[in-house]
Chains A and B, each alone.
Chain A
Amino acid sequence: MQWETVIGLEIHAQLSTQSKIFSASATTFGAEPNTQASLVDLGMPGTLPVLNEEAVRMACQFGLAIDADIAERNVFARKNYFYPDLPKGYQTSQMDHPIVGKGFLDITLEDGTVKRIGITRAHLEEDAGKSLHEDFHGMSGIDLNRAGTPLLEIVSEPDIRSAKEAVAYVKAIHALVRYLGICDGNMAEGSLRCDCNVSVRPKGQEAFGTRAEIKNVNSFRFIEKAINHEVQRQIELIEDGGKVVQETRLYDPNKDQTRSMRSKEEANDYRYFPCPDLLPVVIEQSFLDDLRSKLPELPPQKRERFESQFGLSTYDASVLSASRELADYFEAVEKTCGDAKLSANWVMGELSSLLNKEGLEIEQSPVSAEQLGGMILRIKDNTISGKIAKMVFEALAAGEGSSADEVIEKKGLKQVTDSGAIEKMLDEVLAANAEQVEQYRASDEAKRGKMFGFFVGQAMKASKGKANPGQVNELLKKKLEG
């Protein structure tokens, strides 16, 4: 049977506010346990929450960026359950009246097609603390530094059809919140976490299959692996005559497995009700208008502009606009050298593989945009060939010069364009390969074509790659024919 995968994602994005959502404590990651926990965060009797306006502003920015309905009123509700790192015995969240309503996000798939993913809602809530199970001799420690950190929970429609699409969607959300500056997107520190709702159904069937929710997957790679694994598990289960049960599962990246955490029957009744300590939040139109006027250029607009302004392909434009930092880098390279296509090729090619290899972010690139742009300028004015440029690029990456010009100068990589010098070098090459020259001249047109490459190679080798390839071609042809 042909199976279709149906995926919906819940992404928790930690908002990068200075203080917590309902208290004045700082939200810095990695502080000593319980040093960023105020009376409110500790759930002390008699304490009350006061909403952080910045968190509201950030949620609204996100809503505007996904073209969502933002209702005039949103309401905080209490989600009641007991857990040691949940100090009040309830999490202040939103239920019936979230701050951000229906919206959408367009994602670009690997084949360059654009797919629209519906976003059901996004709501504000507070994070819980952490339970620490090591170093306490059979007991548990509680760190409430994270308790009260503002989260935006972004819930997608079940519009996603594969693990790859899911990753593309999470990447697009990741890019968006970073473009907006509302979340640092640091998945290793838990600033962006993802719950994946996965089900399968026979191709063509309209009704959804029973879904399992995989909790807290915290990297792009794990999202893809966890979903693929879960899809396989469900298909095998059904094909073996079993049934998928609605449950919460955990992904174990070490074993590349998901395992059951709790079933639907064991799920809490959270007894949501409007939080009586917080009034409904009223969002005024003028507030939204003001935010809208200050929104930065977002990935879809940037992609379109890269296509129209620079003539890039949809795929190249999507890759380059995927993160604000990458887009800014590309634009800086283009500005320096004035050649968008070469800039795109270098940024997506040599630079990307260098960063991948070194595990660096674009902001940490050892080659600056100005250095790369300057180097491309030298390709354009024939100072160096593309091949030599790779050497220059490597030298720049290794910090062997502050600019391409300096590297070219220091290493003597300047391309030879003096016809006299090239002719002299070619004469030497042909003399050294007299036998091949004889063969060449005796051969027919087809064979000559193949052999010509040999001479070019020898010539470039002799010039240590510095001879202008165009001139080498032209002069070599003349001499061999002559």
Chain B
Amino acid sequence: MHQLTLAEIVRGLQDKQFSSEELTGALLARIADVDTRLNSFISVTGDLAIADAKAADARRAKGESDPLLGAPIAHKDLFCTEGVLTTCGSKILHNFKAPYDATVVAKLKEAGAVSLGKLNMDEFAMGSANESSHFGPVKNPWDTERVPGGSSGGSAAAVAARLIPAATGTDTGGSIRQPAALTNLTGIKPTYGRVSRWGMIAYASSLDQGGPMARTAEDCALLLGAMAGFDPKDSTSIDQPVDDYLAVLAQPLAGLRIGLPKEYFGAGLDPRIADKVMAVVEELKKLGATVKDISLPNLQHAIPAYYVIAPAEASSNLSRFDGVRFGYRCEDPKDLMDLYKRSRAEGFGDEVKRRIMVGTYALSAGYYDAYYLKAQKIRRLIKNDFVSAFEGVDVILGPTTPNLAWKLGEKGGDPVSAYLEDIYTITANLAGIPGLSMPAGFVDGLPVGVQLLGNYFQEGRLLNVAHQYQQVTDWHQQAPSGF
């Protein structure tokens, strides 16, 4: 039963082939059995899940048929869940039970989804290897000596290992797409403002965006449809109707204009990944797409700009974790300053501290113009690059990551080399456009992802292209052995 996709589960529940309670019970048992090898869950909320599954079955018996009624999922542990531990992968929130549900959590509940628990992640979503979690690293089901990517590494590993059919993730610089690529999943970061950030603990507010991670584009469409929408509680949420993502999946690709940015195929890219990406292009051509070389000249500035803006916002966003009202507080503080200093020094991990320091520095008097303001200008240039590119193409295609999944601990001492792994994904966050990663084959038994970028609110088009590709290929159906 655990091999079923989310769409298959929805149909199975509709046809009463199995109940939500049966399915949920089976998946919980598998998590208990398997997750010791992966560490993808921080909290498994078994009793709650069984109760919700029973309630879903009861609703169905009464004739209700909400799209995700009884479908099991799990949330990245930065979505606030009422009464349930919400840690953000950090010691500073190791004891924090959120007093409310995030909008995404509430919407999925309303759609009938059953949450099995909270998924591991890089501390405060800072990282691309899921090694910075206070609750230990997550392992890649394709090779448990390797990282699953991050920061939504728990989501990626759990779905890839078939512990759950789909999960929520968040993406600030690639945190949905990069782990999806490294674990053979499909994941989409929507347009900034498409999914509410209410209750999603902030890393970098102007870049953070929640989205689905699953095995197929169809499952992502199903989940995103339930997650997306205007939320008056989030001032950056956009008041525009949500497209019917499932309805556009079947559109033929004839006439699709694909742009290949030359900067995405330069030095630094593993040539074996480049080959896989070009093979995807050939397949899409067969489906009727035309291909054009394009240029996104400001790509080279994206990483420095991102690593100013994101830490700057983070340094302010993380100020509320001060040991005063919730979360970790140091033992026996001598005075207020001691309370602040030790609670934060003991509560935050190294990567979080590094980014708080970088961000604090970038915003300091005398440095603001040189760093923060300049980074904002670069951000504008990157956005302009995309705006002009999308005048000539419908979709931009390239690799999701420059490298395959690396070994745990391999980049521990070199944060900058880990930052460089975000090179192809962070531009979408800086520009606010949607980006999707989908399976494109394997190199040495490790998954390769291809990235599709679309214009604002073109989530439907990206899911459509990915779905059509998945109709003629079976990369996405490959499962890691042993899971």
Contacts and interface: CB of A to CB of B under 8 A. Distances in A.
Interface of A: 39, 42-51, 78, 80, 82, 84, 87-90, 142, 269, 271-273, 276-279
Contact of A142 (B99, B324, B364): B324
Given A50-B235, A84-B336, A277-B236, A44 B316 contact: no
B319 to A, nearest CB: 2
Contacts of B234: 48
B93 A87 contact: no
Interface size class of B (residues with CB under 8 A): 35 or more
Contacts, number: 98
Contacts of A269: 364-365
A277 B203 CA distance: 12
Contacts of B202: 45-46, 277
6 contacts: A42-B325, A45-B201, A48-B198, A82-B319, A82-B322, A276-B205
A223 to B, nearest CB: 31
B188 interface: no
Interface string B339-383: 010000000000000000000100111001000100000000000
Interface in B73-127: 78-80, 86, 88, 93, 96, 98-100, 102
Q: Is the interface of B mostly helix, strand, loop or mixed?
A: loop
B372 A273 contact: yes
A88 B319 contact: yes
Nearest to B327: A45
A91 to B, nearest CB: 11
A273 B235 contact: no
B172 to A, nearest CB: 12
A273 B316 contact: yes
Given A39-B99, A80-B363, A82-B340, A46 B316 contact: no
Nearest to B200: A46
Contacts of B200: 46
Given A46-B98, A279-B236, A271 B206 contact: no
Contacts of B86: 45
A277 B315 CA distance: 14
B483 interface: no
Contacts of A273: 312-313, 316, 363, 368, 372
B364 A50 contact: no
A256 B367 CA distance: 41
A276 B197 CA distance: 12
Interface string B61-79: 0000000000000000011
Contact of B320 (A51, A87, A272): A87
A90 B319 contact: yes
A312 to B, nearest CB: 50
A33 to B, nearest CB: 13
A385 to B, nearest CB: 68
A78 B318 CA distance: 13
A291 to B, nearest CB: 22
A279 B319 contact: no
Q: B202, B204, B235, B321: which has the most chain A beta carbons within 10 Å?
A: B235
A80 B315 CA distance: 9
Contacts of B336: 84
Interface in B215-270: 232-236
B320 A89 contact: yes
B198 A49 contact: no
A103 B236 CA distance: 32
A159 B78 CA distance: 52
A46 B201 CA distance: 4
A87 B327 CA distance: 13
A456 to B, nearest CB: 75
Contacts of A89: 316, 318-320, 322
Q: Which 3 A-B pairs have the closest CB atoms?
A: A89-B319, A271-B363, A276-B205
A132 to B, nearest CB: 14
B439 interface: no
Nearest to A273: B363
Contacts of B88: 45
Contacts of B93: 45
Contacts of A80: 315-316, 319, 363
B199 interface: yes
A142 B80 CA distance: 24
Contact of B326 (A44, A48, A84): A44
B236 to A, nearest CB: 6
